[in-house]
Structure 1
Amino acid sequence: MQLADAEKWMKEFYEKRGWTEYGPFIRVGFLMEEAGELARAVRAYEIGRDRPDEKESTRAEQKQELIEEMGDVIGNIAILADMYGVSLEDVMKAHQEKLTKRFEHA
């Protein structure tokens, strides 16, 4: 799936459920929640959870969880960007330019 197609799909999906009605402060809160879930998935993948009250998952399940949580983070970023009239392509282009300039002499 291309970035622009993914953005369009996310926007339509979120709009259909009324999730785009939340303002940017609430959206950032959702983003932070999803970032925490991604952190938990990374930990499980890298060092395990070591919790007797949780079922041990397979490596494939852990990787799938990582992928899904990354998608949740990207989805929230995409909706937040859309609120400000910015595309993910614009975001990535600006990010690339910033880092290229910052480290051009390194």
Structure 2
Amino acid sequence: MTTTQDWIHQFYKERGWSQYGPFERVGFLMEEVGETARAVRTIEIGRDRPDESLRSSEEQKQELVEELGDVMGNIMILANMYDLTLDQILEAHKHKLMKRYHKDG
């Protein structure tokens, strides 16, 4: 079975987007994080741009979904560069939090 991480890897590879190294990939990730921040701002406090203020709340939410997807795609590609799976990353994150805050689970 192909995971989403595998699919993203193949999709980026087919378009030549996998040629970028980790430093470039982190740059792309930061760009997408900025776009995600802009989407959240638009939803939460609005923007004073007429072309953005005319969008419905559903359109704004869809933009957020797309930007979060771009962030996740870049994280997956970066993880692939270091032979890491999202499961490994999330398990390590969970373990770190449980250890830090002394929670069982």
TM-score normalised according to structure 1 size: 0.91
Provide the C-alpha distance between the structure 1 equivalents of 2:53 and 2:99, rounded to a whole number of angstroms.
Answer: 47
Provide the C-alpha distance between the structure 1 equivalents of 2:41 and 2:19, rounded to a whole number of angstroms.
Answer: 32
Provide the C-alpha distance between the structure 2 equivalents of 1:58 and 1:52, rounded to a whole number of angstroms.
Answer: 13
Gaps of 5+ in 1: none
Provide the C-alpha distance between the structure 2 equivalents of 1:13 and 1:38, rounded to a whole number of angstroms.
Answer: 22
Structure 1 outlier segments of 4+, above 6 Å: none
Q: How does 1:1-106 map to 2 (within 5 A)?
A: 5-52=3-50, 54-104=52-102
One-letter identity of the residue aligned with 2:21 = G
Worse overlay, 19-28 or 96-105: 96-105
Aligned length in residues? 102
TM-score normalised according to structure 2 size: 0.91
Q: Is contact 2:29-2:71 (8 Å) kept?
A: yes
Q: CA RMSD in A?
A: 1.4
Q: CA deviation at 1:8?
A: 1.1
Q: CA deviation at 1:53?
A: 5.3
Provide the C-alpha distance between the structure 1 equivalents of 2:62 and 2:6, rounded to a whole number of angstroms.
Answer: 23
**Counterpart secondary structure, 2:50:** coil
